Amino acid sequence: MVTDTPILHVDMDAFYASALLRDRPELQDRPVMVGGGHRGVVLAANYPARAYGVRSAMTGTRARRLCPQVVVLQPDYDLFTAVSASVMEVFRRVTPLVEAVSLDEAFLDVRAAGRRAGGPVELGEWIRATVHDEQRIACSVGVAASISVAKLASRRAKPDGLLVVPPDEVTAFLHPLDVGELYGVGDKTRTRLHRLGLVTVGDVAHTPVATLRRDLGHHLGGHLHDLAWGVDVREVSPGRAGVFGHGGPPDRSMGAQETFGRDTDDREVVLRELLRLTAKVTARLRSAAVAGRTVAITVRFADFTTITRSRTLGEATDVTQEVYAAAVRLYDAQGLQRARIRLVGVRVEGLVPRQQVERQGVLGERDRGWADADRAVDRAARRFGSAAVRPASLLGPGAGR
C-alpha cells in the first residue's frame, strides 16, 4: 500500500474514566473523575466533568469546587493494563509497526498493513469501530505524513473522531496553532517562547532559523523550526515499545518500597526512608534514560491499611531532590504524625524518554544543579559501588540498610 499519509496516531478518549464506566451505564452521562479523593490529584475526567473545567493533574479539592456533583472513582490499574493490552492487539492486527507511547495511545505505520484492504482513513475507521465493539470505549485517530502532525491531528479529532492532514495542508493546519501544541513542547517551553514573542506555530516557522538557534540553542532551535513546517523524519519504531528501548509491554512506572523493622511514628525515620527509596528509584530512571511526571507514595499502617497518594509535576524529572520534595509534600499532607507506619514506598509514573525532557529543560532554563549532582553520584556508584556516595541524612544511625 502506497500512501502519502501513512502515519496514524490513535488516542483513547478519556481512557481511564471510559474503562471504569464500561460497566456503569448509570454514570455515563454524569461527571466522573478518576482519583482525586481526599487530597490526591485527578488522574482523568470524563467529558461531562471536563465541561465544568475538571482536568487531569488538578487537585481533587479544586475539582470538587468546580463540580460539586462529580462522582469520584478509584483507579483500577489492573483493568487499565488489561484493556490497553487488548487495544494494542487491535492495532497489531492492522500493522506490525506499532509504537506504544503510553497505555492509551500509539503510533502506527500502515505502510506495513499488508493484505488488509483500504487506505489510512479506512484503516483508522476500522480501528475505531473495532475498539468500540470489543472494548466499549472510544478513540480518536490522526492521519498524516509524520509522527508530530498525526499526534496533533488526533487531538483535534477528539472526541471520537478522525482527522486527516494531507501533506499539502500541513502548514495551513499547523501555523494558526499555539506553540504549546507542538509535539514535545511543555508548559515551561511554551512560556519561554511566548516571552520571545513566538505565540503561534507560524511565528516559529517564519522566524529565521539562525535566530531560533541563537535564542534557543543550535539543535533545539533547528528542531522546532522543522516541526513548525511539518518536517519530522522520525519513524514509527516497535523497538521503542516501552520507554526503555526494548520490545515487550511498556514499563510505565518505577518504584521501590520498604517495610520497617519496627512500626514507627517518627517522621524523621519515615522521611529518611523516603529519601533512600527515592534515590534508588531515580538512579534506575537515569540508568534507563527515562523520566516521569507523577510521583506517588504508598503508606501502610500497623493495621495493614494502605493508602496511595500522588502528585503530578509540571515537567517529567529524574532528579532525586525533585522527586523527594514531592514525596515529602505528599506524606506531610496526610497528617500522619501520630500514625504508626509499617511500610512506605515511592513510585514515579508516566515515564517518557529523557531526551524529550532535556529538550524542554534547556528551553525552560531549568536549574540543572541537582541533576548534575545526581549524575556525579551515578558515576561514582558505577566506579566504586552503590554505597560510595549517599545523601548525608542517610549516614546516620540505622541508615544504609
Question: Residue 35 half-sphere exposure, CB side, CA atoms within 13 Å?
Answer: 23
* Residue 42 in this model has a pLDDT that exceeds 50: yes
Calculate the CA dihedral of residues 276, 279, 280, 285 and round it to 10 degrees.
Answer: 160
Please state which CATH number belongs to domain 175-228: 1.10.150.20
> Residue with C-alpha cell 539543535?
219
Domain 1-168 - what CATH class?
alpha beta
**Among the listed residues 260, 256, 257, 281, the one whose alpha carbon sits nearest the alpha carbon of residue 269:** 260
CA distance 311 to 314: 10
Q: What share of the chain is helix, strand, coil (3-state, %, to 5)?
A: 45, 20, 35
- Mean of pLDDT over the chain: 83
| Domain edges within the chain | 1-168, 175-228, 253-394
CA distance 386 to 153: 46
> Residue with C-alpha cell 522546532?
224
Q: Each residue of 256-291: b (16+ CB within 10 Å) or e?
A: bbeebeeebeeeebbbbbbbbbbbbbbbebbebebb
- The correct answer on CATH 3.60.20.10 for the domain covering 253-394 is no
Please provide residue 306's backbone torsions phi and psi, each rounded to the nearest 5 degrees.
-130, 135
Report whether the peptide linkage leading into residue 159 is cis, meaning its omega lies within 30 degrees of zero.
yes
For the whole model, what pTM was predicted? 0.61
Annotated ligand binding at 11? The verdict is yes
User: CB burial class (10 A; 0-12, 13-18, 19+) of residue 325?
Assistant: middle
Report for 32-36, 309-313, 377-381: range of highest mean pLDDT? 32-36
**Among the listed residues 9, 150, 75, 91, the one whose alpha carbon sits nearest the alpha carbon of residue 347:** 75
List strands edge to edge, sheet with 71-73. 42-45, 32-35, 71-73
Count of C-beta atoms within a 10 Å radius of residue 310? 21
Annotated ligand binding at 251? The verdict is no
pLDDT single digits (tens) 280-327 = 899 888 877 888 989 999 898 888 788 888 888 888 899 999 999 999
Please provide residue 255's backbone torsions phi and psi, each rounded to the nearest 5 degrees.
-155, 170
pLDDT single digits (tens) 176-204 = 999 999 887 877 788 889 999 999 999 99
Residues classed as catalytic: 105
